[in-house]
Amino acid sequence: MSTGPLPRGRLTAHRPTLRHMGAVQHTETGVDAVYDRYSRLVQDLLSVPVALVTKVADDHQRFIGAVGLPEPWQTDRTTPLSHSFCQYVRSEDAPLVVNDAREIETLRDNLAIGDLGVVAYAGVPLRDAEGTTIGALCAIDTEPRTWEDRELAVLHDISLACTAHLRSSAAATEATAARERAERESRRTAALLQMAEAFVATTTIREVLEAAGRLGELVGAGAVSIGVPDSTGALVWHAKDGTQTTASAEHWDGLRRAMPATPIFTTSPEALGPELFELLPAEVTANATGAATVLPLRVENRTIGLAAIVWSDTLAVPAADQLTLTALARYTSVALDRAQLLEARQNAAHHLQRSMLTEVPEIAGLPIRAVYRTAHVADEVGGDWYDVLELADGRVAVAVGDVAGHDIEAASAMGQLRFALRTLLWSRRDEPAAILSALDDLNSSIGPDALTTVVLAILGAPESDGSRTLTWSNAGHLPPILQRSGQPAALMEAAPDLMLGVSPGRSRADHMTRLEPGDTFVLYTDGLVEQRDADVAERLSALTSALDEHDPLRPDEIARILTDGRDRGDDVVLLTLRVDTAP
């Protein structure tokens, strides 16, 4: 309403109109018993039926202290400005003293006269710490009244005390808010650091997705889904509960076209727009009642995935949470890109390694089986290998070795040594010790100069009863195992020689035994029996027991029994052969 000219009779001179309420308006809005006591003090000292401490906003006033108001105003503690005299104290930044409002042109139509019984009014400004008038301390009479100077002076003095309390209360409120903001920021920073550390520790796509699934927990979101294309181009949505939903490559192409390069924050999933909304997973779109965001996962201008997040009870994502999610999207992008690169390298290394391991040949009267199991450690490929070679003179050579290291260099060295050993076996009729000595010389002189353990065994041509002579030499490897027909498996405890690559030229020993029909010979690498929390002797005993209890010609089953359920930090090779009875 238009206030028009104000009545005369103020305690202080006119001051310029101020355009805002200041900090206290926003930080001190609740009812405080202290302000009721100020109101009672005014009521008692000025002998008025009504006294108020008001805060005036742009469209209403609130009585933070009140005594004597009729109901429902005493309980509600608020009125629109149509019922306000205090608004003029605020707008004019000066006291207002009225003996009979019904005689004042500007006030006679104010609804406070009829609804609140305001006839005589004396109000003085209440100011915040910046000096801005935010309301009034006022005395009200329901009858016409001539205010005495003594009464107005008392009202002024009480207003100073009330203003001091307002300012201290506002300062305390601001201090509390600042402390809470600092605590929230500290928690947010700690959470961000924790998430960053979690992403740094990830090496696989699965680990990245598990870390990214915790994005929602950090900002109180309901559903979180991470979409990552697989090797075929199809988009796989990973929900935070571990479930997966696969969409077509065309679906992923459509999402990339519809999705901008920067995060989208909206008040609902539908607000993302139909083109993008319809391509999101059901977990995100179904029953979503709050805000939604889509975070593109980008690296070097490439979109490698996206995160879709919805809230159930939040209509707008706070700015601080937007910054947090944007930062975490960058963490996720870098970690995901690194994990994809590591996975590609690991797949390439394992492909290289497997390409150098030929199929075990079928040899009459000598069934041979081999299994190779890769380590669980991402981007690690071992130098474990095996080989079976049927020689031109009817002998059969079998070997199992392990090049030190868990990287592409170890796999490469393994390939070089394996093919060098094949060449030596094919070109020379020497016994295993001489072959290994020649291989050691090659390894140190022309490369790859690798530390390698290996057992090389050569089986002679079968006798008339099917039996074969077995000659073997051990270069620092774990002992072979022999299981005589009808007897328990046992370690072949001949002392091993030095591994290859340590002291070329050192003499090496051959060991000999005869394999009768039904006997089984077993070679393996340390990944099968070495475990961080177990003694090697115990693991070797477990291996021989497994050979006794299961078919040795099922090495895949034995390897599974011995390695499943534990984290393998090394590759595993298990090779078994059995001498059959002569036909």
- Please give the order of strands across the beta sheet that includes 235-239: 244-247, 235-239, 223-229, 302-310, 292-299, 264-266
Residue 17: pLDDT above 70?
no
| pLDDT 10s digits, 421-469 | 999 999 999 999 999 999 999 999 988 899 999 999 999 999 988 999 9
Task: Count how many residues are written for the chain.
Answer: 583
Are 205-338 and 356-578 the same fold in CATH? no
- The pLDDT score that the predictor gives to residue 156 is 95
Residue with more model confidence, 355 or 499: 499
- Rounded CA separation 27/165 (Å): 13
Q: Inform me whether the pLDDT recorded for 568 exceeds 60.
A: no
- Provide the residue ranges of all domains of the chain, joining segments of one domain with +: 23-174, 205-338, 356-578
44-53, 239-248, 292-301, 441-450: which range is least confident on average?
239-248
Beta bridge partners of 307: 226, 295
Q: At the topology level of CATH, where does 205-338 sit?
A: Beta-Lactamase (3.30.450)
Q: Which two tokens stand for residue 508?
A: 């090496």
Mean pLDDT of the chain: 84
| The predicted structure's pLDDT at residue 119 | 97
- The yes-or-no verdict on residue 8 having pLDDT over 60 is no
Q: Residue 565: pLDDT above 60?
A: no
pLDDT band at 238 (very low <50, low <70, confident <90, very high): confident
Edge-to-edge strands, sheet with 511-515: 383-390, 396-403, 452-459, 468-475, 511-515
Residues 153, 115: Cα–Cα separation, whole Å = 28
- Dump pLDDT digits (tens) for 296-345: 888 888 888 888 887 777 777 788 788 878 888 888 888 888 888 887 77
Residue 30 binned pLDDT confidence (cut-offs 50, 70, 90):
very low
Calpha distance 43→154 (Å, rounded): 11
Helix axes 33-46, 149-200, angle to 10 degrees: 180
pLDDT band at residue 124 under the 50/70/90 scheme: very high
Are the beta carbons of 105 and 83 closer than 8 angstroms? Answer: no
Do the beta carbons of residue 489 and residue 520 sit within 8 Å? yes
- pLDDT for 29 equals 39
> Under CATH, what is the fold of the domain 356-578?
Phosphatase 2c; domain 1 (3.60.40)
In the predicted model, is pLDDT for residue 489 greater than 50? yes
Examine the pLDDT at 24 and tell me if it is beyond 80: no
Indicate if the alpha-carbon torsion angle 277, 281, 287, 289 is positive or negative.
Answer: negative
Q: pLDDT, tens digit, for every residue of 252-290? A: 888 777 777 778 777 776 777 766 777 777 766 665 567
Q: Residue 100: which of 177, 7, 189 has the closest Cα?
A: 7
Highest mean pLDDT: which of 247-256, 421-430, 563-572? 421-430
In what helix (H) or strand (E) does residue 519 lie, and over which residues does it extend? none
In order, the DSSP letters of 67-86 are ESPPTTHHHH-EEEGGG-SH
DSSP E strand stretches across 346-410: 368-373, 383-390, 396-403
> Lowest-pLDDT range, 55-69, 370-384, 492-506?
370-384
pLDDT at 15: 31
- What average pLDDT does this structure show over 359-379? 82
Q: What is this structure's pTM?
A: 0.52
- 23-174 CATH: 3.30.450.40
Using CA atoms, how far apart are residues 527 and 570, in angstroms rounded to an integer? 5
Q: Say what the pLDDT of residue 190 is.
A: 79
The token duo for 10 is 């103020």
Q: Which residue reads 């629109």 in tokens?
A: 80
Question: Quick one: pLDDT at residue 356?
Answer: 66
How many Å apart are CA 50 and CA 40, to the nearest integer? Answer: 9
